[in-house]
Amino acid sequence: MNLSELLESFLFMDEEEIVSFAASSPYRYKVYSIAKRNSEERRIIAHPSKELKFIQRIIVDQLAGQLPIHNTAKAYMKGLSIKDNARPHAKYKYLLKMDLKNFFPSIKPSLFFKECRLHGVELSELDIDLLEGFLFWKRKRATHLVLSIGAPSSPLVSNFILYRFDEAISRYCKSLGINYTRYADDLTFSTNEKDVLLKFPAKVRKTLNYLYDGQIKINLRKTVLSSKAHNRHVTGITLSNEGKLSVGRETKRTLSASIHRFTQQKLSDDDILKLKGNLAHTVFIEPDFLDRMIKKYGRNAIYELKHYTPSSN
């Protein structure tokens, strides 16, 4: 791989300029925080500058064919969605969910280049210097570079990093009749065999520790075991006891009530736009919900809702 030569052809910069830009790139991020779901904690987002983002996308295009991604990885994959992550578990009685702790920030350049070596990805010393600068972020007052949440290159790198884990765990799961999928940092396991999953968290932690020298860890507080006797959710999707994907009864009740208010012209523009988004998501998860709403409120009402645009006044 000759990354410098590739970038020269895109950027109209010589090698010295590219090396200089790479050295400053870990500081070319706009940093902000957002609330974590169901938590008081904040998630730190580091968004690369426009120029750096352009370079990261070039690198992704170059590396995509060289870095293996396991078929159990469902996030950031073209043509796949949260439904593809939830569907393999829908018909099974017992569910285990685990979460990787601070996943992206736990990935450092040394771990990335170790995985590259193990997978036979040939990189020159210059390639390594450039990739370290362009793919990793340095937080103020931090002593090391990490993968950022917000860079277009981070999904590819993170999925690649976990290839060996995904392969090892999926093989082990197959031997026990367990289903396994991963959506970014969310690990999901399901089976019809009672108690099989009870000791599984220890196996997952042991495998991660062995492969990544303790750099990637499980968030123990987010480990959840459930069964059909309780509500089961995978990446925000409810698994019904009939083995189907759902948004949940309460969500559909609320949505139906909002559509009723829309037909009575009792919603603000903001409420209508929110309703449109919620309806689109629900229909994506449960396509037959649209037919039920058409039958209940009429085709014209649903058409008007789907095509509603706020007035400019």
- 197 in a structural domain: no
Q: Are residues 136 and 263 in the same domain?
A: no
Q: Is residue 33 part of a domain?
A: yes
Question: Could you give the CA distance from residue 122 to residue 147 in angstroms, rounded to a whole number?
Answer: 21
Number of domains making up the chain? 2
In a domain, 135, yes or no: yes
State the pLDDT at residue 312: 62
Report if residue 218 sits inside a domain: no
Q: For residues 12 and 132, state if they share a domain.
A: yes
Q: Is residue 276 domain-shared with residue 146, that is, in the same domain? A: no
User: Do the domain assignments include residue 264?
Assistant: yes
Among 192, 189, 165, 166, which residue's Cα sits nearest to residue 179?
A: 189
pLDDT tens readout for residues 70-90? 999 999 999 999 999 999 999
Residues 127 and 15 grouped into a single domain: yes
In this structure, the answer to whether residues 261 and 145 fall within a common structural domain is no
What pTM value is reported for the model? 0.91
Give the domain range for residue 253: 249-306
Note the pLDDT of residue 313. Answer: 55
Average confidence (pLDDT) per 10 residues, the chain, 313 residues: 88 94 96 81 91 97 95 96 96 96 96 97 96 95 92 98 98 96 98 94 97 96 89 93 94 97 95 96 97 97 93 64
Query: Which of 152, 172, 188 is a domain's end point?
Result: 152
Q: Is residue 141 part of a domain?
A: yes
3-state secondary structure of 259: helix
Q: Residue 157 domain-assigned? A: no
Instruction: Give the H/E segment covering residue 231.
Output: none
Query: Is residue 174 in a domain?
Result: no
Digit-coded pLDDT (tens) for 135-170: 999 988 888 999 999 999 999 999 999 999 999 999
